[in-house]
A and B are shown apart, each in its own frame.
Chain A
Amino acid sequence: MDLTYTPEEEEFRARLRQWLGKALPTLPAKPSPDDWPGRRAYDLGWQRMLDDAGYAGVHWDASPTTRLIFLEETERAGAPYVGANFVGLLHAGPTIAAEGTAEQRARWLPPILRGEEVWCQGFSEPDAGSDLAALRTRACRDGDDYVVSGSKIWTSHAEVADWCELLVRTDPSAPKHRGITWLAMPMDAPGVTVRPLRTLAGSAEFAEVFLDEVRVPVANRVGEENDGWRVTMVTLSFERGTAFVGEVVACRRVLGELARTARENGRWDDPVVRRRLGRLNAEFRALWRLTQWNVSEAEANRGVPGVGGSVFKLRYSHARQELYDTAAGVLGPDCLDLDRPWTLDRLSSLSYTIAAGTSQIQRTIVAERILGLPKGR
Chain B
Amino acid sequence: MRFQLTDDQRALRDGVRQLLARRFDGAALRAAVAAAGPGGAVLDRALWRELGAAGFFALRLPEEAGGVGLGLPEAALVFEEAGRALLPGPLIATHLAAGVVPGAATGEVVVAAVDGGLVEWWAQADVVRGEPAEGTGLDGGVREGGVRERGAPDGGAPERGVREGGAPEGFVSEGFVSEGVVPVRSVDPLTPLHRVSGASGRSSGSASPGPAPNPVAVLLTAAEQLGTAARVCELAVQHARTREQFGQPIGAFQAVKHLCADMLVRTEVARPAVYAAAVTAGPADIAAARLLADEAALRNTRDCLQVHGGMGFTWESEVHLHLKRAWVRAQRGGGVTESEEALAAELVD
Name which of A30-38, A236-244, A254-262 contacts chain B. Answer: A254-262
Q: Is the CB of A374 within 8 A of B251?
A: yes
Q: How far is the CB of B280 from chain A (nearest CB, A)?
A: 7
Q: With an 8 A cutoff between CB atoms, is B261 at the interface?
A: yes
Q: Is the CB of A286 within 8 A of B343?
A: no
Q: Is the CB of B254 within 8 A of A1?
A: no
Q: With an 8 A cutoff between CB atoms, is B152 at the interface?
A: no
A131-173 with Cβ < 8 A to chain B: none
Q: Is the CB of A282 within 8 A of B287?
A: yes
Given contacts A259-B344, A282-B288, 6 further A-B contacts (CB under 8 A): A1-B278, A281-B344, A282-B292, A293-B3, A311-B265, A364-B258
Q: With an 8 A cutoff between CB atoms, is B264 at the interface?
A: yes
Q: Is the CB of B292 within 8 A of A364?
A: no
Q: Is the CB of A374 within 8 A of B248?
A: yes
Q: Is the CB of A311 within 8 A of B268?
A: yes
Q: With an 8 A cutoff between CB atoms, is B29 at the interface?
A: no
Contacts A278-B339, A373-B237, A375-B252 given; indicate if A308 touches B268 (C-beta within 8 A).
Answer: yes
Kindly supply a per-residue 1/0 record for chain B positions 245-270, scoring 1 wherever the CB is within 8 Å of any chain A CB and 0 otherwise: 00011011110111011101100111
Q: What are 19 A-B contacts with C-beta separation under 8 Å?
A: A1-B2, A1-B279, A2-B279, A3-B3, A68-B1, A259-B344, A260-B348, A278-B343, A279-B291, A279-B340, A282-B292, A290-B272, A360-B254, A363-B258, A366-B264, A373-B249, A373-B251, A373-B256, A377-B252
7 closest cross-chain pairs (CB), A and B: A278-B340, A278-B344, A259-B347, A367-B257, A278-B343, A282-B288, A289-B272
Q: With an 8 A cutoff between CB atoms, is B109 at the interface?
A: no
Q: With an 8 A cutoff between CB atoms, is B56 at the interface?
A: no
Q: How many residues of B contact A (CB 8 A)?
A: 55
From the candidates B6, B258, B270, name the one contacting A1 in the complex (CB within 8 A): B6
Q: Is the CB of B252 within 8 A of A296?
A: no
B263-318 with Cβ < 8 A to chain A: 264-265, 268-273, 275-276, 278-280, 284-285, 287-289, 291-292
**Alpha-carbon gap, A228 to B270, bound state (A):** 36
Q: Which residue of B lies closest to A65 (CB)?
A: B1
Q: How far is the CB of A230 from chain B (nearest CB, A)?
A: 24
Q: Is the CB of A293 within 8 A of B344?
A: no
**List of B residues within 8 angstroms of A3 by Cβ:** 1, 3, 276, 279-280
**List of B residues within 8 angstroms of A372 by Cβ:** 237, 241
Q: Is the interface of A mostly helix, strand, loop or mixed?
A: helix
Q: With an 8 A cutoff between CB atoms, is A275 at the interface?
A: yes
Q: With an 8 A cutoff between CB atoms, is B144 at the interface?
A: no
**Alpha-carbon gap, A374 to B257, bound state (A):** 9
Q: Is the CB of A376 within 8 A of B252?
A: yes
Q: Is the CB of A315 within 8 A of B265?
A: yes
Q: Is the CB of A2 within 8 A of B252?
A: no
Q: How far is the CB of B335 from chain A (nearest CB, A)?
A: 11
Q: Is the CB of A293 within 8 A of B257?
A: no
Q: How far is the CB of B264 from chain A (nearest CB, A)?
A: 6
**List of A residues within 8 angstroms of B272 by Cβ:** 286, 289-290, 292-293
Q: How far is the CB of B291 from chain A (nearest CB, A)?
A: 4
Most B C-beta atoms less than 10 A away, residue of A2, A285, A297: A285
Q: Is the interface of B mostly helix, strand, loop or mixed?
A: helix
**List of A residues within 8 angstroms of B269 by Cβ:** 286-287, 290, 311, 315
Q: With an 8 A cutoff between CB atoms, is B4 at the interface?
A: yes
From the candidates A271, A281, A371, name the one contacting B237 in the complex (CB within 8 A): A371
Q: With an 8 A cutoff between CB atoms, is B341 at the interface?
A: yes
Q: Is the CB of B288 within 8 A of A285?
A: yes
Q: Which residue of B lies closest to A313 (CB)?
A: B265
Q: Is the CB of A281 within 8 A of B252?
A: no
Q: With an 8 A cutoff between CB atoms, is B206 at the interface?
A: no
Q: How far is the CB of A131 from chain B (nearest CB, A)?
A: 14
**Alpha-carbon gap, A292 to B276, bound state (A):** 10
Q: Which residue of B lies closest to A300 (CB)?
A: B4
A1-35 with Cβ < 8 A to chain B: 1-6, 9
From the candidates A271, A281, A290, A300, name the one contacting B268 in the complex (CB within 8 A): A290
Q: Is the CB of B265 within 8 A of A1?
A: no
Q: How far is the CB of B207 from chain A (nearest CB, A)?
A: 15
Q: With an 8 A cutoff between CB atoms, is A299 at the interface?
A: yes
Q: With an 8 A cutoff between CB atoms, is A263 at the interface?
A: yes
**Alpha-carbon gap, A4 to B276, bound state (A):** 11
Q: Is the CB of B264 within 8 A of A293?
A: no
**List of B residues within 8 angstroms of A279 by Cβ:** 291, 340, 343
Most B C-beta atoms less than 10 A away, residue of A1, A260, A360: A1
Q: Is the CB of B340 within 8 A of A274?
A: yes
Contacts A263-B348, A314-B265 given; indicate if A285 touches B6 (C-beta within 8 A).
Answer: no
Q: With an 8 A cutoff between CB atoms, is B73 at the interface?
A: yes
**Alpha-carbon gap, A36 to B273, bound state (A):** 40
**List of B residues within 8 angstroms of A5 by Cβ:** 1
Q: With an 8 A cutoff between CB atoms, is A277 at the interface?
A: yes
